[in-house]
């Protein structure tokens, strides 16, 4: 076979391999996007259910007829309404209602809602810090909601709410937190936030919440970074009920020949895997 024919065949094989690899990558990306969409859908359904429960338990306020807040003409007048950015759900609920009762959650968070409606997120985070330990769980629920809309700016404070004493508020905070976490693209930052979340909730972390946190590590693109933070979290844990979940997560990375029997063994296996992975990456960089 002539030399140029061998070159052509080699090029063809490489092209086919590249195309196949690209198609596999596209399929994997599509699956991951579908998983993210499904997760967002489930989280949104959970949030809506929690808000519905709170709304059913909260006293209703009578609507006030006539112009809405801010002096804008009501729709019944037929006057043209000026264009305005749609209000957030909680802030919108304030429009067209009687002033909130003094001391109510609505009254306490009035300034927070206004900052949210104005998208003044820097000031919103400052206001949220004042209310994050408020004794009324409905107030704290509203704080979590506002921090959620603040995105990455409110993520640190939202993380601190994962240990809220009210289970519903803690769950809402977790749902909001996971949505905000998805906006973090840097693997190290994402892993650090997951680590911080477990530090906040600690050994009192509910089993399902722990599984949620550990599952988020699958979205950390660099396994070396994920492994380091997982090992640190597992080393902090003193709750025997968390051991199995940590072992499963750690073994999922290190892939030992036999399942680790203890958390310490799982950590040791991950450390061994880390050393091997670093050597292989260093060799690849030298090639």
If asked whether residues 50 and 166 sit together in one domain, one would say yes
**Entry pTM:** 0.57
Instruction: Tell me how far apart the alpha carbons of residues 128 and 231 are, in angstroms, rounded to a whole number.
Output: 33
Residue 239: is it exposed, middle or buried by C-beta count within 10 angstroms (0-12/13-18/19+)? middle
Is there a single domain that holds both residue 277 and residue 245? yes
pLDDT at 185: 85
Please tell me whether residues 192 and 164 are part of one structural domain: no
Nearby residues of 87 by Cβ (< 8 Å), 6 or more positions away: 95, 117
List of long-range contacts for 39-45, beta carbons under 8 Å, 24+ apart? 39/178, 40/179, 40/182, 43/175, 43/178, 43/179
CA dist 54 and 169 (Å) reads 10
281 and 247 in one domain? yes
Q: Do 120 and 48 sit in the same domain of this protein?
A: yes
Residue 183 has what pLDDT?
81
**What is residue 286's predicted lDDT score, i.e. its pLDDT?**
87
CA 102 from centroid of its chain's CA atoms: 34
Domain span at residue 204 reads: 185-287
- Across the chain, which has 287 residues, the per-10-residue mean pLDDT values are 59 57 58 57 52 47 34 34 40 56 82 89 92 93 91 86 90 87 87 88 83 89 94 92 95 95 96 95 88
Q: How many domains does the chain have?
A: 2
Domain boundary among 183, 209, 224: 183
So what's the pLDDT on residue 77? 34
């Amino acid at each position: 076979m002539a030399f140029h024919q061998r070159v052509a065949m080699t090029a063809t094989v490489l092209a086919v391999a590249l195309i196949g690899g690209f198609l596999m990558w596209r399929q994997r990306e599509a699956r991951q996007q579908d998983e993210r969409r499904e997760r967002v859908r489930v989280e949104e359904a959970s949030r809506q259910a929690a808000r519905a429960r709170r709304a059913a338990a909260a006293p209703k306020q009578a609507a006030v007829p006539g112009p809405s807040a801010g002096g804008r003409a009501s729709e019944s007048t037929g006057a043209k309404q000026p264009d305005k950015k749609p209000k957030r759900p909680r802030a919108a609920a304030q429009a067209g209602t009687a002033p909130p009762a003094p001391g109510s959650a609505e009254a306490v968070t009035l300034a927070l809602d206004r900052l949210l409606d104005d998208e003044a997120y820097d000031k919103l985070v400052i206001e949220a810090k004042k209310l994050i330990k408020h004794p009324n769980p409905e107030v704290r629920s509203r704080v979590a909601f506002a921090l959620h809309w603040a995105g990455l700016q409110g993520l640190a404070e939202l993380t601190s709410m994962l240990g809220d004493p009210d289970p519903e508020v803690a769950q809402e905070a977790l749902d909001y937190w996971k949505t905000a976490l998805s906006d973090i693209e840097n693997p190290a930052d994402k892993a650090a936030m997951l680590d911080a979340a477990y530090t906040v909730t600690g050994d009192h972390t509910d089993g399902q919440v722990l599984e949620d946190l550990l599952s988020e590590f699958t979205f950390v693109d660099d396994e070396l970074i994920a492994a380091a933070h997982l090992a640190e979290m597992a080393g902090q844990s003193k709750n025997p009920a968390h051991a199995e979940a940590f072992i499963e997560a750690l073994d999922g990375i290190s892939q030992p020949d036999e399942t680790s029997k203890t958390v310490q063994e799982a950590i040791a296996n991950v450390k061994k895997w880390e050393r091997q992975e670093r050597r292989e990456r260093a060799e690849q960089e030298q090639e």
